[in-house]
A and B are shown apart, each in its own frame.
Chain A
Amino acid sequence: MKNSFIILFLLSFVFSSCKKDKKQTTAYTLLQPYKFPVFENDVEKGITEEGIALGRRLFYDPILSGDGTMACATCHKQEDGFSDKRQFSIGIDGSVGKLQAMPIMNLIWNEDFFWNGRSKSLENQALEPVENPIEMKAHWNIVIDKIKDDKVYQEMFDDAFPEQEITKELAVDAIAQFEKILISSNSKFDKLLIGEYAMTEQEQRGRALFFSEEADCFHCHTGNLMTDLSFHNNGLDANPKPGLETVTNNENDKGKFKTPSLRNLAATAPYMHDGRFATLDEVLDFYSSGVQVSPTIDELMKQGTNGGVQLTEQEKEDLKAYLLLFNDPNFLTNPAFASPF
């Protein structure tokens, strides 16, 4: 009896030792950059080192596309502020997109995604391009099957999401985790705020214009994100495209598109939702004298009836000098954001 008890005890000890402990993930600490908005609604929670590593690999991997030739990074290149130098991105079968690929940076503070705000989370946003027939033209179930057959991904998914089945929801969760850490906060403008940069006279003149009621850039390109994260019709067309109206079905939203950030402006050409302006000079010419009035033009485009804010050539140069302070070379070359392949 005594021996049986001891054997049983030893056996149960051996079995419990063999039982695999559930893997632990490593929480990623996201630091809030100086003078940036606080993180709201716990958006910074749940990001892990393992999730970022997986999301980064998926972001750069053409496995997500129908023919294995196109990754997220194909149209969102780091050196271009994770946007596309081409006016419209080209899909796997040569289809041409209709809008400019939006830059990916500082998205953790965003609540609406795409130019018309049709997606309400980064995770949801990441679902769409994979199946979009003019983009990656794949099917998530086929993509997930391919991922499940890949030994590296089997391990990375298990590291990021221990003991969970690989699904498209987990895939976009990981991609969103990677995108959330793509924070650009190390420009000359940021250095200016902490006293490590002094503006030239021209940049100071540009800044005065930027924050003036006359040029009035600051109401839409506001705060340290350089965007109010809202939607405006900035007077590009007399008969604008629907924009936000597509989502809200409200005719008052016709022609409203999401305000892009001005960060990394030099890298994110071409400009506007349809990439119609190849250079910053063209953008400044537009705001100066190319504005078209339409029924939903934003109230802040108060000089719209005059065609724009009527900048002199010197003022345009000054403003451009200030706008270029928002470039962040570290962000564009940070190896942690680069391809893992």
Chain B
Amino acid sequence: MKNFLGLLLTTVVLMACNKKPEAGNFTLNLSHEVDGERLALDNMRYSSPAGHTYEITKLWYYLSDIRLIETDGTIQNAAEGFLVKAEDTNTQSISLNDVAAGNYNKIQFQFGISKANNVEDYLVATVDNQSMFWPEQMEAEGEKGDYHYMKLEGNYDSLKTGKLNPYIVHSGPTNGADNSFIIEFPLEEFEINNNSAELNIKVNLKEWLQNPTVYDFKDWKMVMMNQNAQNIYKANGQSVFSAGQLTISEE
């Protein structure tokens, strides 16, 4: 009897010690900035590296295939596309629920939608997703229409004439090319175990126009079928996103 009680107590203690780790949540918070200032749409107040005063009237883009990577290299995927809209703060927090318990030290995500995923009907056919349609005739032969990666639009004021000029930066799969790219940030190791983690991401929009190539609006009028323009977006886009503070809060 004494032995039985001892066994029971040991079992209870061991069970308590072996509590299974539980999934948690992870949120990306995006903040859009130009020149260190929070983005103000429809405001002719920014200076481009090419010497123009400019405004941003529209900014819609996709982030997709967000991967949280564990310290042992295990990748936790959220194979989805998220449409971010500068005018809608609800779209600027991307929450991943039920992230597997584990220790993480890296995050990756795709700017735009990868070639493998950018296919007809990849995303739920919402009105917004349909308005990001990339036409079939701008795809490779035999491929169907899919999605823009980004629509960045606005006006610039040519300093010489004072005249207002529109610019359009629409990136996507020109002739079927994969112009999307992966952004990766190493993170201080953190644990997901029945808790929530939030990572702030700064989106410095000026980088689209300057690093490494200065992008002059006046040189690029029609860009969807211009792979040279898309190459600039792909290269300049690498420095647009930067990781900020990571916050862990217990459930």
Q: Do A and B come together as binding partners?
A: yes
Q: Which of A35, A36, A109, A305 contacts B165 (CB 8 A)?
A: A305
Looking across the interface, which residue of chain B has its beta carbon closest to that of A230? B131
Interface string of B137-170 (1 = CB under 8 A from A): 1100000000000000111000000011111100
The residues in A between 73 and 124 inclusive whose CB is less than 8 angstroms from any CB of B are 109
> Which of B121-129, B187-195, B198-206 participates in binding chain A?
B121-129
- B247 near A: Cβ within 8 Å? no
Is A300 an interface position by the 8 A CB rule? yes
Determine whether A229 belongs to the interface, using a CB cutoff of 8 Å to chain B: yes
Shortest beta-carbon distance from A224 to chain B in Å? 7
**Given A250-B42, A302-B166, A304-B166, does the pair A211, B222 have CB atoms closer than 8 Å?**
no
Asked if A218 is at the interface of the complex by the 8 Å CB criterion, the answer is yes
Chain A 35-61 interface residues, beta-carbon cutoff 8 Å to B? 35-38, 40
- Interface pairs (13), CB distance under 8 Å: A36-B125, A38-B124, A208-B137, A213-B225, A225-B127, A228-B131, A230-B131, A297-B166, A299-B57, A299-B154, A300-B153, A300-B166, A302-B168
Minimal Cβ-Cβ distance residue in A for B132:
A222
- Docked complex: A179-227 residues within 8 A CB-CB of B: 208, 211-214, 218, 222-225
| Residues of A283-337 contacting chain B, CB below 8 A | 293, 295, 297-302, 304-305
Provided the pairs A295-B164, A298-B166, A304-B166 are in contact, do residues A35 and B133 lie with their beta carbons within 8 angstroms?
no
Determine whether A252 belongs to the interface, using a CB cutoff of 8 Å to chain B.
Answer: yes
Q: Which A residue sits closest to B151, measured CB to CB?
A: A219
> Once the chains bind, are A222 and B133 in contact (CB under 8 Å)?
yes
- Of B42, B127, B168, the contact of A37 (CB 8 Å cutoff): B127
Q: A interface vs B, CB < 8 Å?
A: 35-38, 40, 109, 208, 211-214, 218, 222-225, 228-230, 250, 252, 293, 295, 297-302, 304-305
B19 smallest CB distance to A (angstroms) = 39
Per the bound structure, the CA–CA distance linking A211 and B42 in Å amounts to 27
B contact set with A: CB distance below 8 Å: 42, 57-58, 124-127, 129-131, 133, 135-138, 153-155, 163-168, 221-225
With A213-B225, A299-B153, A299-B166 already in contact, the answer to whether A40 and B127 are too (CB < 8 A) is yes
> Is B168's CB under 8 angstroms from A299's CB?
yes
Once bound together, how far apart are the Cα atoms of A109 and B155, in whole Å? 30
Q: Are B127 and A300 in contact (CB under 8 A)?
A: no
Residue of B at shortest CB range from A301? B166
Shortest Cβ gap from A36 to chain B (Å): 7
- A317 CB to nearest B CB, Å: 19
**Given contacts A218-B133, A297-B166, A299-B166, A211 and B138 within 8 Å (CB-CB):** yes
CA–CA, A236 and B125, complex, Å: 32
Q: A42 CB to closest chain B CB, in angstroms?
A: 14
Interface centre among A213, A250, A298 (most CB of B within 10 A): A213
Residues of A within 8 A of B131 (CB): 222-223, 228-230
A311 → chain B closest CB, angstroms: 16
Complex: A201 Cα to B224 Cα, angstroms = 25
Across-interface contacts of A228 in B (CB, < 8 A): 127, 131
Query: Given the complex, which residues of B lie within 8 Å of A109, measured CB to CB?
Result: 127
Q: Shortest distance in angstroms between B44's beta carbon and chain A's nearest beta carbon?
A: 10
Across the interface, do A224 and B57 meet the contact criterion of CB distance under 8 Å? Answer: no
Complex contacts, B225 vs chain A, CB 8 Å: 213
Report whether B167 and A299 are in contact in the complex, using a CB–CB cutoff of 8 Å.
yes
> In the complex, what residue of chain B is closest to A111 when comparing beta carbons?
B127
Question: Looking at the complex, which one of A36, A299, A302, A305 makes contact with B222 (CB distance below 8 Å)?
Answer: A302
- The CA of A230 and the CA of B58, in the complex, are separated in Å by 12
B164 / chain A contacts, CB cutoff of 8 Å: 293, 295
B127 to chain A: closest CB distance in Å?
Answer: 5
Q: Which B residues lie within 8 Å of A304 (CB)?
A: 166
* Interface residue from B42, B130, B222 paired with A214 (Cβ < 8 Å): B222
Q: Report yes or no: B166 in contact with A223, Cβ–Cβ below 8 A.
A: no
A residues less than 8 Å from B166 (CB atoms) = 297-302, 304
Inter-chain contacts of B167 with A (CB < 8 A) = 299
B137: chain A residues at CB < 8 Å are 208, 211-212
Query: What is the bound-complex CA distance between A180 and B128, given in angstroms?
Result: 20
The residues of B that contact A300 with a CB separation of less than 8 Å are 153, 166, 168
The CA-CA distance from A229 to B129 in the complex, in Å, is: 12
Given A211-B137, A297-B166, A299-B168, check contact A229 B224 (CB 8 Å).
no
A229 touching B222, Cβ below 8 Å: no
A301 to B137, CA, bound (A): 21
Known: A211-B135, A222-B133, A299-B57. A229 touches B165 (CB 8 A): no
Give, as a whole number of angstroms, the nearest-CB distance from A315 to chain B: 15
